[in-house]
């Protein structure tokens, strides 16, 4: 029995000890990590080469498309800009618009940046709305809606002719200042805003002073049905700091305050209705006062006409008298014989001033 036990123990004995097993494990880990690193490097290189290949293919495709587009479109004479159609409802000139847009005929139509052209034309003081359309193969259409001036404005207190003045500007309802190269006849009848000294007036600038804004608001509100026909503003004086002095087409002078323009216009409408009913013309009215409003009426036209045509002094009567004294009698004139001519002596006369109630002197 004993020999059998020794034989079994020898069979169950371990081949390696703990130290050997650790060393074997470390070798296995190193081999596996080296293989994983090599595998990872091969994958990275494969992805890198794929990316380079795709980039090369994309670059070649882009270069080919660009070269084809250049030859087919950008260097094709069929796509040269031949027609620039400009439509405007104001006084803008074709040369002025094309110069501002930096646009000219003959360049390639596809190389024109429409957004840039739109922004450059929009910067013109006269431009309100701009539309730019490209029509292939060789046409660009530009449609401009210009600002409509509602008044002249100047910093001077008096001005004779805004047409020829360098300090008078056109202004639209939004307060944008303009200088038209071509003045239309209807600009002559626009209201004149005087004494706007609160800011410097420049082309393209928007007025910011409260006085100018109030004047523009008054023009907008007065363009109502009744007031537009009965009260047409011709001049607005801003030289006073506390009010607006407005003169209409009939030379009536109305003083407005800066606040609550609608209520002041309603009071003015009542005065105008009273003038129409009483057949009188408004002279002056101060709407700054809410109660007991000071008002004057213009003289009647008949009174003005009578004062003009009725003489202040009676005219003197000029009477012709003979040269000789009235006591002497004129010599008798012999009768003319038959067949002879009659001879009359010319007697000079002298005019003498006499009174209306006396006879000859």
178: number of CA atoms within 13 Å, CB side? 28
Of the listed ranges 47-51, 158-162, 344-348, the one predicted with least confidence: 344-348
pLDDT at 317: 55
Q: What are phi and psi of 33, to 5 degrees?
A: -65, -35
pLDDT at 358: 41
Spatial CA neighbour of 171 closest among 121, 112, 236, 114: 236
Cβ atoms 247, 217 nearer than 8 A:
no
Highest-confidence segment of 68-77, 172-181, 302-311: 172-181
C-beta neighbour count of 140 within 10 angstroms: 21
Does the pLDDT of residue 209 top 50, yes or no? yes
Q: Between these two residues, 311 and 294, which has the higher pLDDT value?
A: 294
Question: What is the distance between the terminal CA atoms of the chain, rounded to a whole angstrom?
Answer: 203
| pLDDT above 90 coverage of the chain, percent | 45
What sign for the dihedral angle of Cα 342, 343, 345, 351?
positive
Average pLDDT for 169-195: 90
Does the pLDDT of residue 71 top 70, yes or no? yes
pLDDT digits (tens, 9 = 90+) for 246-261: 999 999 999 999 999 9
Rounded Cα distance, 285 and 255, in Å: 6
pLDDT at 55: 92
Angle, vertex CA 272, rays to CA 269 and CA 274, nearest 5: 110
Residue 299: helix, strand or coil by DSSP? coil
The contacts of residue 151 (CB under 8 Å, 6+ apart) are 170, 171, 190, 191, 192, 193, 215, 216, 219, 236
pLDDT digits (tens, 9 = 90+) for 255-287: 999 999 999 999 999 999 999 999 899 999 999
pLDDT at 198: 78
Classified by CATH at the fold level, domain 79-146 comes out as Ubiquitin-like (UB roll) (3.10.20)
* Per-domain boundaries in the chain: 21-71, 79-146, 149-303
Q: What are phi and psi of 146, to 5 degrees?
A: -85, 160
Position 224 confidence tier, pLDDT thresholds 50, 70, 90: confident
Does the pLDDT of residue 120 top 90, yes or no? yes
Listed in sequence order, the DSSP H helices in the chain are: 2-12, 18-69, 94-101, 114-122, 210-222, 225-230, 261-278, 301-309
Rounded Cα distance, 252 and 222, in Å: 15
The contacts of residue 64 (CB under 8 Å, 6+ apart) are none
Residue 265, token pair as written in the block: 């216009």
pLDDT at 172: 94
Residue 357: helix, strand or coil by DSSP? coil
Q: What are phi and psi of 143, to 5 degrees?
A: -120, 120
Does the pLDDT of residue 72 top 60, yes or no? yes
Does the pLDDT of residue 352 top 90, yes or no? no
- The conformational region for residue 251 under phi > 0 = left, psi -120 to 50 = alpha, else beta, is left
Average pLDDT for 342-358: 41
The contacts of residue 350 (CB under 8 Å, 6+ apart) are 320, 321, 323
Average pLDDT for 111-134: 94
Does the pLDDT of residue 3 top 70, yes or no? no
Average pLDDT for 172-193: 89
Residue 74, token pair as written in the block: 């950008």
Q: For the structural domain made of 149-303, what CATH number should be given? A: 3.40.50.11690
pLDDT at 19: 65
pLDDT at 248: 94
Rounded Cα distance, 318 and 327, in Å: 22
pLDDT at 102: 93
Of the listed ranges 21-30, 175-184, 199-208, 290-299, the one predicted with least confidence: 21-30
Highest-confidence segment of 67-71, 116-120, 160-164, 194-198: 116-120
Q: What are phi and psi of 59, to 5 degrees?
A: -65, -40
Does the pLDDT of residue 143 top 90, yes or no? yes
pLDDT digits (tens, 9 = 90+) for 323-344: 454 444 444 444 444 444 334 4
Cβ atoms 192, 248 nearer than 8 A:
no
pLDDT at 186: 86
The contacts of residue 258 (CB under 8 Å, 6+ apart) are 210, 211, 214, 242, 243, 244
Rg (CA), the chain: 52
Of the listed ranges 67-81, 94-108, 171-185, 236-250, the one predicted with least confidence: 67-81
pLDDT at 122: 94
pLDDT at 160: 84
Cβ atoms 169, 206 nearer than 8 A:
no
Residue 142, token pair as written in the block: 């530009």
């Amino acid at each position: 029995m004993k020999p059998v036990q020794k034989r079994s123990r020898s069979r169950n004995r371990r081949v390696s000890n703990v130290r050997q097993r650790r060393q074997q494990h470390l070798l296995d880990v190193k081999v596996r990590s080296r293989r994983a690193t090599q595998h990872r490097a091969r994958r990275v290189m494969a992805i890198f080469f794929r990316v380079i290949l795709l980039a090369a293919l994309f670059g070649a495709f882009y270069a080919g498309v660009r070269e084809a587009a250049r030859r087919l479109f950008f260097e094709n004479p069929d796509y040269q800009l031949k027609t620039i159609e400009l439509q405007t409802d104001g006084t803008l000139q074709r040369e002025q618009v094309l110069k501002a847009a930096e646009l000219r005929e003959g360049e390639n139509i596809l190389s024109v940046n429409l957004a840039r052209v739109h922004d450059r034309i929009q910067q013109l003081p006269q431009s309100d709305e701009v539309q730019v359309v490209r029509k292939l193969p060789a046409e660009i259409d530009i449609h401009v809606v210009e600002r409509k001036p509602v008044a002249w404005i100047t910093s001077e207190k008096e001005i004779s002719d805004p047409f020829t003045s360098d300090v008078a500007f056109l202004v639209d309802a939004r307060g944008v200042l303009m200088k038209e190269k071509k003045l239309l006849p209807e600009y002559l009848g626009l209201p004149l805003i005087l004494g706007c000294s609160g800011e410097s007036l420049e082309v393209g600038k928007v007025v910011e002073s409260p006085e100018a804004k109030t004047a523009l608001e008054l023009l907008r509100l007065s363009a109502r049905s009744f007031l537009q026909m009965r009260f047409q503003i011709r001049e607005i004086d801003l030289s006073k700091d506390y009010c607006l002095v407005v003169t209409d087409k009939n030379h009536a002078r109305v003083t407005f305050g800066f606040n609550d323009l609608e209520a002041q216009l309603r009071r003015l409408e009542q005065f105008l209705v009273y003038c129409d009913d009483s057949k009188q013309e408004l002279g002056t009215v101060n709407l700054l006062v809410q109660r007991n409003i000071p008002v004057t009426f213009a003289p009647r036209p008949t009174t003005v006409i009578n004062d003009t045509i009725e003489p202040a002094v009676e005219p003197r009567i000029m009477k012709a008298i003979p040269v000789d004294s009235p006591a002497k009698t004129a010599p008798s004139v012999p009768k003319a014989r038959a067949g002879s001519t009659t001879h009359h002596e010319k007697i000079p006369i002298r005019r003498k001033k006499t009174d209306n109630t006396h006879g000859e002197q």
